[in-house]
Structure 1
């Protein structure tokens, strides 16, 4: 949908939808059919359902959503439970989320060496936590916690960490994870289709019983997650907004992560009770979308999950909210850029409000031609603004948000946002907009449903929110019935002074909770051991999938335009959508002004259209266009419905040839760039991942720092930028087309894409030298609870023959829940919420590979976490069983991987940059098949062990142990403006 900026395909059956007087109720009815499959299982289908859903309900109440997608031999799986934070006991907030973590720890069969002995220790730990929870004396609580730590160490002698993750990894699963939100907990895996039997057995065992092993180490990991939330200004603003909207309902009063006091005083008894109450089949759904056989699949689900026992489940009755009579004001403080949000409380899913607010939201902000898009973003009246709706079971909310431009107050942004609502209330939007945005939603949804993961997500959301799929299928048809008059009437009743306004201001947050390092004793991982369940699991063999490789030269066909420009193309066999890219093998490295000029074009009109009118013309056509410039390549893209390509290309060419410079628009554009620079340097992610990373690689001479100064921007001639972009089309270029009717696309290009007879060669590119690493610690002082750090070591130049070993190494050592790094640093020692390491292959054959590692943890744990990471990076633990599992997982992922559709072209583009002219996966697969642990150890010794690191750290200097950091190298405290080559705020022209 519009938030993902999918294709804006508006004219699809536009003439049909515009004749509202011909729409009657009967034509909009959706027929629901009850049928039986070959095995006698009853299922429900919906007529004209583009997703082909079969919805089963087993005898025990379990809902099973099945849909077929044969694009790849994989199945997207979700196990959804109607159990979220709103159902947490008031004295145990965060319980549902912590339970989610613990469901990964195994059962009385998974993850144990001797359950009879282990359970005695787990009972002791549970009793100690109840004692700890009841104790009020802080010192006595510490003593009890020490005892918990001691007993937990003993219990770990009988536990095996990450057995569940090892088994899912051995299937070749990807995306293994889970999330908890207000009303849901959802468990995720994408598995090879041939591994469905083993996955079902594993998951039905996992959800059949809860065992709270390795409890106190995982609790610390959850508290680290809590800390990350305290360092996230967006999350804090969101929580404040919910608190204002829902002063009584748990939506606003019980955050998913919980409060610190409750996290530090958990009850294993309460968690067991919660699991037993809500994790029952009649409160759960299994969602499977992918390469499945319906009849076989439902039989297998019934044979496994069908054995779960149905229990009566009653969700608590939650408080009702009184209407908001006047604006509620919230304030949040933190280091990131100021912004504001305005939120209106609505009805929830399956209400009239959901339909009307969805439509209002798209008219306000659809990414192209909405009131906010055109009146605020296009005119640069603010730095940036948008709107977005959310609908839950009991209520929903519609949020408008914005960032101020330089010199603008948050209240001025607020007034501009509210002014767009007033325009809508007065009907000041064009009559065609309702039809246009409905078709935008419809065709965006169609594209979404082609993706198995997106479709599976839609199914589990329908389950969580008690939606009949038939209503989901007809939802957009219901929107068509809404007239402009009805929408305006709704807006006038709904949008009043009944909102919550949340000011995110810059400043110190005095509500931050800081905690002590509890000094957990590392528990035993027993990584070289296996439970009886896992041994039997691994002994089962599925019919292996055979890898499929791509012959790029036959899959990518070629033709050319009348002027000789090469056109590569791939037929779209799915639908009538097209995607066309004009590709220039030059970018900002070749001409620094190019990116500036391309960005400026966004705000320009022509001799025929204003900038706003152009946006509307494209939107009416249902065509999206973009122009983008990277360091080495630039693209002019056009996509939409195939039949509208000629008109879209004609309009794009008109803009390209006839853009008119506008000094006022340019001045605003410069101000926006300078404000964006100031906002960027307030974000810790940008500082670490961009600023510090670039400096650690390149030093002062980097792409990141090679920017125009403030004065250079202000003195630039807008005409020069427009001429540069117009002349851009006269450089060497090539075209990639994905769609049907290639001849028609070529004809349109011949007619509308006119270029010079003799195309220009590219200017020479600026080169940036990768520096040697080692002995440097680059530190930025930032107001945050956690500290984050990265290690970077320059390796050898890219070698294609190393790709197999590096892929296997990353799986085994540093990437994923069952990797060595994750197990040691988080599972055993509980030193970080997030820790990983990987060998990063270069993107270009002339660049170097890098060894990377990351730790995010409490500042007071950092020295221990660093020691643990460096120990691993210098002496790779050798675990034969874990290596074999990693090898098997890597091979299965390669076997199930399919490169299809337009990805064939873009994959080939990437490989050619590496000097590879064929599908490299075939050689990788064969190499990994032969690889031993000794081979991996040799790769480690040659490429990772003993490397010299540049270390990048961001944290609060008051909390970080600078003396410990100095042991890693010479500390250089970096100025953020210097990192990005920005000028100080006082130097910026207002």
Structure 2
């Protein structure tokens, strides 16, 4: 290993064409430059000029692993507080605010040591009172306003075991403003708005309580890492610690870990790296390095010499998780593990894919590497079919591990895996986000960039014998199993709603710092919208011979690499015949007269191509993609499969059992219940989630009839959609050679469309789900026709009212009152010209906060809060985003398709952009008052009636109770 690392280091080239020295790696396709400023700050820069935007990540090498044991969840809570501002923004008078914030901090230190409930209640009331005094100087969500002012997207952050990372996607002309904001934020963070933000964290905690997957991974890690924070504490923290926070500890944590020698700035996009690094040095160069940012060491974990079992209980469906412990993410073990991941579970032709999923031995199964800085875990999981036990699941999964250890896999598998890993890597380089994510991983895990870059060349030399030997040595009886069983989790505790006085939103106040950013002069980015006549090529695919018809095509050339995407779009879907859904799924388990199902999957994987059939309400897409050189053969094989798929009655009956079990499991999942309830509430009983064949109908269906639907699909007219490196004429000839075109097309079947229902009167729809929180949507529909002349007003309304952290909804529901983790609202334009517009609000909140949420939503609907400054920021945000966004690649075709559905022949974004300058706040207020204020609403609620104030709910309208069976349709 030492020799190999020395060799890799020797490949590093020191950049010398810039004032700033940087490291780069020879033959690195991303052309990444890695700078280290004098204060230790790492900067990863990669130029990708596809569109004038930059993905930025600021990664701090600290996560829940670094939380003090007595205040777990601290890293995650600090992440939230980083959005509250500094002495420059988020505040009107920092000098007057400071003593009040200090008082709040001291009161929390006393509060966390109190045990008497009445004493704690009184102390919390006093904290709430002092918080009201401090809040008069607080300008909530000014950080989001700053990001909106520069046209940023994706404003967010995340915390995991080893990392806290802050994300922004910015226009390429706003680097200086972005750096000015971030440098202040990371050096001068101020903790304010503490108690309302803590409530948002509680709401996030409640969401985790209902997520059995979170509980399962925590239980697995507890057994794998008994002497390491990965296993002894969780990212979200404990309920007791969240209820007893320490601002003092948070400040000390910030001062220890948020220092430049523990931080990396990761950027990928369209920029001049010399200019960007100079700007970063200008604003971050004086940031003082820390003296104590040394990662803790936890020593060796106890050896696992025999299988270890544990159990998790929750109301979601049963499943089984297994985990093997490995070295940390910077280890060269990861090369082999990444190959093993694809050999077992690549989604197409891995051992688990073919032996378990293809043969439907389990409901589902997959596996993969979960890499962390100190140690990694290889996960394998599966879910049982009806009548199977979790022990059956484990036995079936372990058999695939044994096959790997015995070398019982096709000789084609390892070379195919290597080719597909390379293809996936090349594809990832097209994305700014994926490039920047690779930088974050390398920095956090301590992986030298040259090691990361050269992983593709290293895996080339790994042999089958080495894989088998590795598996024999490392996949033994050293695993942990978590049995996720269904039942009531008695460990869950209710969190009582605290008495919080809403803090003022101070919507009209604007700090001088925000004004400075707003008034800064940057070179504008000239917008570029799709010109269908210039950006797309239209033509016809002519059938072989003289008697065939023609298929229209839409073509965009790929000038970057050898990857293609090809689709045949049919203008009908499940609204015409819901059986297409089942035909597409059933096809996945079939082969042809010449190829078994497994051989077919292996062939496509070897070709580095994949296919799919996507069935929507009004369209069917037959998709093919991968390496362009393989397209003729892949299309030939796909066409043969569609026309000559071999009926397998036994496979069909097994498929029906899989569908039936998946349906049963879906009824146990909270988010799936909510999705189905919303569909029912908006569209009524005839909606996409209920438009299904029952299990009995599936049993009675002749599988050959399903395949006939696919065989006859080509008799209907389709539109060929292509993005790839072939010339248009060559593409058309390849399609004509390998895709049968009839002499006359069959008429498309008629459809019964899903129709969003009107809301003529107030009513409440409630469906049951036992959880510590409710999911709620308020829905209003007056059956308005869509008018493209109103598109700009609608888009700007959504930006101002409900679409961001600076919006009215977020500020009033979360920031001022701590009522939710997420809350938003949207006025929805249709997807098709014959559909109607509608409006909805959304919130997830604690059971005892629901009425407060309804009351506040109705208040801000009937009397929309108005702020000229907030409006201008929303307008600037939308304008700058539209100017800097670009439809590229297959996105050009998608823009055209969307316009076709709406019955227009232009890029709608261009119309919106040109109309924005003339829109005023009064236009937004008028639009809201005419379409949302004092209207009738359908309140769509998923929750446990025993935990809700039903009398208060009944005051909003008559209650209609729906059963789980009614919202699912089975």
Match status 1:277 vs 2:265: no
User: Match of 2:56?
Assistant: 77
Q: Which moved more, 1:419-428 or 1:480-489?
A: 480-489
Match status 1:415 vs 2:428: no
SS in structure 2 at match of 1:737: strand
SS in structure 1 at match of 2:361: coil
Give me the whole-angstrom Cα distance separating, in 2, the residues matched to 1:221 and 1:29: 46
What is the deviation of 1:916? Answer: 1.4
What is the deviation of 1:377? Answer: 0.5
Q: Matches of residues 461-500 of structure 1 in structure 2 within 5 Å?
A: 461-500=441-480
User: Match of 2:273?
Assistant: 294
Contact 2:755 2:835 in 1 (8 A): no
What is the deviation of 1:632? Answer: 0.8
Give me the whole-angstrom Cα distance separating, in 2, the residues matched to 1:646 and 1:770: 42
Match status 1:193 vs 2:179: no
2:713 pairs, out of 720, 725, 728, with 728
User: Match of 1:184?
Assistant: 163
1:957 pairs, out of 931, 945, 963, with 945
User: Match of 2:352?
Assistant: 372
User: Match of 1:170?
Assistant: 149
Give me the whole-angstrom Cα distance separating, in 1, the residues matched to 2:336 and 2:866: 59
Q: Which moved more, 1:38-47 or 1:467-476?
A: 38-47
Give me the whole-angstrom Cα distance separating, in 1, the residues matched to 2:200 and 2:6: 54
Q: 1:27 to 1:565 in 2, by over 3 A?
A: farther
What is the deviation of 1:36? Answer: 4.4
Give me the whole-angstrom Cα distance separating, in 1, the residues matched to 2:331 and 2:460: 16
Contact 1:579 1:739 in 2 (8 A): yes
SS in structure 2 at match of 1:868: helix
What is the deviation of 1:67? Answer: 0.8
Match status 1:324 vs 2:304: yes
Q: 1:763 to 1:28 in 2, by over 3 A?
A: farther
Give me the whole-angstrom Cα distance separating, in 2, the residues matched to 1:836 and 1:623: 39
Contact 1:37 1:295 in 2 (8 A): no
User: Match of 2:181?
Assistant: 202
Q: Which moved more, 1:900-909 or 1:772-781?
A: 772-781
Q: 1:134 to 1:709 in 2, by over 3 A?
A: closer
What is the deviation of 1:28? Answer: 8.3
SS in structure 2 at match of 1:643: helix
Give me the whole-angstrom Cα distance separating, in 2, the residues matched to 1:195 and 1:835: 28
User: Match of 1:718?
Assistant: 703
SS in structure 2 at match of 1:561: strand
Q: Deviations over 1:247-300 (max 9, x none)?
A: 110001111111011111111111100000111101101111111101111110
Give me the whole-angstrom Cα distance separating, in 1, the residues matched to 2:740 and 2:589: 23
What is the deviation of 1:559? Answer: 2.5
Give me the whole-angstrom Cα distance separating, in 2, the residues matched to 1:258 and 1:27: 41
Q: Matches of residues 10-89 of structure 1 in structure 2 within 5 Å?
A: 31-37=10-16, 39-89=18-68
User: Match of 1:753?
Assistant: 739
Q: Matches of residues 666-677 of structure 1 in structure 2 within 5 Å?
A: 666-677=652-663
User: Match of 2:195?
Assistant: 216
Contact 2:536 2:892 in 1 (8 A): yes
Q: Matches of residues 397-436 of structure 1 in structure 2 within 5 Å?
A: 397-436=377-416
Q: 1:282 to 1:25 in 2, by over 3 A?
A: closer
Give me the whole-angstrom Cα distance separating, in 2, the residues matched to 1:956 and 1:706: 26
SS in structure 2 at match of 1:304: helix
Contact 2:153 2:168 in 1 (8 A): yes
Q: 1:36 to 1:354 in 2, by over 3 A?
A: closer
TM-score calculated relative to the size of structure 2: 0.97
Match status 1:875 vs 2:863: yes
2:645 pairs, out of 646, 659, 663, with 659
Match status 1:789 vs 2:776: yes
User: Match of 1:779?
Assistant: 766
Q: 1:351 to 1:212 in 2, by over 3 A?
A: same
Match status 1:706 vs 2:691: yes
SS in structure 2 at match of 1:429: coil
2:679 pairs, out of 691, 694, 697, with 694
Q: Which moved more, 1:47-56 or 1:556-565?
A: 556-565
SS in structure 1 at match of 2:922: helix
What is the deviation of 1:709? Answer: 2.2
1:967 pairs, out of 955, 964, 967, with 955
Contact 2:611 2:622 in 1 (8 A): yes
What is the deviation of 1:408? Answer: 1.6
User: Match of 1:913?
Assistant: 901
Give me the whole-angstrom Cα distance separating, in 2, the residues matched to 1:770 and 1:392: 46
Match status 1:122 vs 2:108: no
What is the deviation of 1:39? Answer: 4.8
TM-score calculated relative to the size of structure 1: 0.95
Give me the whole-angstrom Cα distance separating, in 2, the residues matched to 1:262 and 1:942: 47
Q: Cα RMSD between the aligned structures?
A: 1.6
Match status 1:900 vs 2:888: yes
What is the deviation of 1:25? Answer: 8.1
Q: Which moved more, 1:92-101 or 1:973-982?
A: 973-982
Contact 2:5 2:451 in 1 (8 A): no
User: Match of 1:245?
Assistant: 224
SS in structure 1 at match of 2:121: helix
Give me the whole-angstrom Cα distance separating, in 1, the residues matched to 2:504 and 2:683: 41
Contact 1:210 1:272 in 2 (8 A): no
Which segments of 5 or more consecutive residues in structure 1 lack a partner in the other structure?
Answer: 1-23, 983-990
Contact 1:787 1:953 in 2 (8 A): yes
Q: Deviations over 1:922-965 (max 9, x none)?
A: 22112111111111111111221122111111112221111121
User: Match of 2:547?
Assistant: none
Give me the whole-angstrom Cα distance separating, in 2, the residues matched to 1:895 and 1:301: 24
What is the deviation of 1:974? Answer: 0.9
Contact 1:806 1:839 in 2 (8 A): yes
Q: Deviations over 1:326-382 (max 9, x none)?
A: 222121122211111111111111224322222211111011000000000001111
Q: Matches of residues 561-576 of structure 1 in structure 2 within 5 Å?
A: 561-563=541-543, 564-576=550-562
Which segments of 5 or more consecutive residues in structure 2 lack a partner in the other structure?
Answer: 544-549
What is the deviation of 1:678? Answer: 1.2
What is the deviation of 1:319? Answer: 4.2
What is the deviation of 1:972? Answer: 1.5
What is the deviation of 1:391? Answer: 1.2
User: Match of 1:577?
Assistant: 563
Q: Deviations over 1:38-81 (max 9, x none)?
A: 55211001000010101000011000011111111111111110
Q: 1:88 to 1:30 in 2, by over 3 A?
A: closer
Contact 1:31 1:46 in 2 (8 A): no
Contact 2:210 2:670 in 1 (8 A): no
1:522 pairs, out of 502, 525, 529, with 502
Q: Deviations over 1:797-853 (max 9, x none)?
A: 211112101111111111111111111111111111111111111111111111110
What is the deviation of 1:138? Answer: 2.5
Contact 2:57 2:267 in 1 (8 A): yes
SS in structure 2 at match of 1:90: coil
Q: Matches of residues 552-951 of structure 1 in structure 2 within 5 Å?
A: 552-563=532-543, 564-689=550-675, 691-742=676-727, 743-773=729-759, 774-795=761-782, 796-951=784-939
What is the deviation of 1:756? Answer: 2.2
What is the deviation of 1:775? Answer: 2.0
Q: Which moved more, 1:466-475 or 1:645-654?
A: 645-654
Q: 1:807 to 1:37 in 2, by over 3 A?
A: farther
Give me the whole-angstrom Cα distance separating, in 1, the residues matched to 2:265 and 2:694: 56
